[in-house]
Amino acid sequence: MTRTTALALACLTTRHLYALAAPASNPAPAYSLEGAPSSEWPIDYSTSLRHWDKSISNQTSIIQKVYPGYGLDAPRVTPINGTSSDWWYFHVFSLNGDGDVSSVNFNFYTTSPGGYPLLQNNATKLDLEIFGSFPNGTSYWANEYPDTAEVFTAGGSSKGRWGSYGSWTSSPDAKYWQLDFDMPSSELTGSVKIYSNGAPPHLACGPAVAGVQQEFMPHLWWSNALADGNAEVELTYKGENLSFYGVGYHDKTWGDQNFYKSVASWYWAQGRVGPYSIVFYDSRDRAGNEYAISYIAKDGEMITSTCVPKSVIARPWGGDSTYPPTMNSSSPLGLTVDFDVDGKNFHVNFTTYGTITANSRYTRWLASSAGGFEGEEVYNGTVVWEVVKLE
């Protein structure tokens, strides 16, 4: 494994190695959280530590565009200026079905509204955002703005801390992830545990190996350290408890210009179709060009991982099925998704049963899924999907 690259985390001003202890194993609940955390460090892990304050730089950002083969979850932008962005995202959604839309979603931002205009605080680049929904669809949303943040990485594992408000940590083999949070201004506290189900990590354009491109559309890059996992959530919001099991997930996104200049719209989803784990983007830029991220895994094996154009095509159905979606279009009833896997069509239909959050630019739903390879068995599952519409 190469230890140097032109950018290669040289942007990380400090290098420090310390032990990131794997959590103690707990008895598995009845439904079985698969994937046991490892207690041993791999021998050949490059490590890095990056620390930020809340100031926004006026210097040109340097972007790491190609994966160097290590530090999968490492920061990719330095410094963070008024138009660049770099953030870490996690979610868990319930598998209960029957209209249960229990969910929790995390964004650990190092960006400003100039880089990602959906944010609100112009005085800082550090923002921890947590939002989600209770079983009946009642939503919650919380933001805190720490003075400092840091991310430590070692191989595919990482840990991050946004002041005293929230943190994540993973086991050395990145099979176990834990998030802890205490958002006092919103009265939101809790913890999340995610155990990988074996779906391999990947990048925008292929497996997580050195030299693979991470750009999935102009000026935006992406990696997916945890494509699918079994999760448990315990949180309290304004005195109301929320506890559930479900599907867990983690990715990160970074960009070198204002997000609104890059994206006109996209559909994104993650979840399960029977034994298959799926992740995709079907996105459009401001010129109307369409881009794709297509990923399917089964039983710990990657079936496809590519950003080839039209490798996945998603289209809305029912309700307002306007395509491409606009800020004036309302909600469809679901989505049809077709993955091109070496000439074979993997077709999935989403039927929405609950809304997590909604506004004119961004809506996220939970849906039942049904599909598989054409001519083969049809499987059922659950997915989270979203639409971003900025025109």
Q: Alpha-carbon distance 71 to 60, whole Å? A: 23
Question: How does strand 166-170 pair with strand 157-162?
Answer: antiparallel
Q: H or E segment at 131?
A: strand 126-133
Domain edge (last residue) among 240, 261, 282: 261
DSSP character at residue 57: B
Residues 109 and 161 in one domain: yes
Domain count of the fold of the chain:
2
Q: Alpha-carbon distance 235 to 186, whole Å? A: 12
Write out the chain's pLDDT in tens, 391 residues. 433 333 232 333 332 222 223 333 333 333 333 333 333 333 334 688 999 999 999 999 999 999 999 899 999 999 999 999 999 999 999 998 889 999 999 999 999 999 999 998 999 999 999 999 999 999 999 999 999 999 999 877 899 999 999 999 999 999 999 999 999 999 999 999 999 999 999 999 999 999 999 999 999 999 999 999 999 999 999 999 999 999 999 999 999 999 999 999 999 999 999 999 999 999 999 999 999 999 999 999 999 999 999 999 999 999 999 999 999 999 999 999 999 999 999 999 999 999 999 999 999 999 999 999 999 999 999 999 999 999 9
Contacts of 222 (CB under 8 A, 6+ apart): 203, 204, 214, 215, 216, 251, 252, 253, 254, 281, 293
Instruction: Please indicate, yes or no, if residue 30 is contained in any of the structural domains.
Output: no
Instruction: Please indicate, yes or no, if residue 16 is contained in any of the structural domains.
Output: no
Instruction: Please indicate, yes or no, if residue 228 is contained in any of the structural domains.
Output: yes
| Residue type present at position 226 | L
Instruction: Please indicate, yes or no, if residue 339 is contained in any of the structural domains.
Output: yes
Q: Alpha-carbon distance 150 to 110, whole Å? A: 10
Residues 257 and 291 in one domain: no
Residues 149 and 197 in one domain: yes
Contacts of 327 (CB under 8 A, 6+ apart): 360, 361, 389, 390, 391
Residues 130 and 270 in one domain: no
Residues 286 and 237 in one domain: no
Whole-prediction pTM: 0.89
Q: HSE (CB half, 13 Å, CA atoms) of 65?
A: 10
Residues 208 and 171 in one domain: yes
Residues 307 and 175 in one domain: no
CATH of the domain at 173: 2.40.370.10
Residues 328 and 370 in one domain: yes
Q: State the residue range of the domain holding 364.
A: 264-390
Contact by Cβ (8 Å): 190, 233: yes
| Residue type present at position 49 | L
